[in-house]
Copies of this chain bind each other. A is one copy, B any other.
């Protein structure tokens, strides 16, 4: 996103609110009136199945807009909830849509963000569908590390995990017990180091390999299409 576009969005009418961990920003079946942008703190997207189990669909990190996925749809198909306490800037949806229509550049930026998140959804399907528990957990750790680093929120090869093992489990389609075992196993084999919730990768290439992680799907520096 170009600085000018960020500024344009920032210039829209908005309110910034501090929101506690666990609070919903968007509920399923809501007609979303507001478009939220995470100023600080983490959020996550989730769905609950009829059986009552939860699947986490995405982790949103500070700086990300959480409602672009619903901007042009009527009914929210999932919920967005704060993972940690944080500040959210709410822009009226109509104002956001109007800005998109008036500025090619903003529209382009919004669509690009949406497509990049879409690509992450695809990778998650693959992760949950086809990787074994250990690689799957490792893959998520890699993704978070790379995305946080790209936003300047992680130091070299290490980061503060913003979630419990229970949350990790719901993101990975596993149980928390099994996530615990996989983390221990990754640690025992020297792939990661843990201090409380801080995770480090002593050997990034080795970790990357066991996680079957290739950051291409994050589209972190796709630029060419911008010219198109």
Residues of B within 8 A of A49 (CB): 126, 130-131, 212
Query: Which residues on the B side are within 8 Å of A112 (C-beta)?
Result: 72-73
In the complex, the answer to whether A77 meets B216 with C-beta atoms within 8 Å is yes
Q: Complex: how many Å from CA A71 to CA B112?
A: 9
Query: Interface size of A by Cβ–Cβ distance < 8 Å?
Result: 58
Question: Is A70 on the interface with B (CB-CB < 8 A)?
Answer: yes
Residue from the list B101, B126, B173 in contact with A57, Cβ < 8 A: B126
Whole-angstrom distance from the CB of A228 to the nearest CB of chain B? 5
Q: Determine whether A29 belongs to the interface, using a CB cutoff of 8 Å to chain B.
A: yes
Tell me if B70 and A115 are in contact (CB < 8 A). Answer: yes
The reply to whether the CB of A157 lies closer than 8 angstroms to some CB of chain B is: no
Closest to A129 in B: B173
- What would 13 A/B residue contacts be, using CB atoms closer than 8 Å? A50-B209, A55-B125, A55-B129, A55-B130, A57-B122, A72-B112, A72-B115, A73-B219, A77-B122, A78-B122, A93-B228, A117-B118, A129-B173
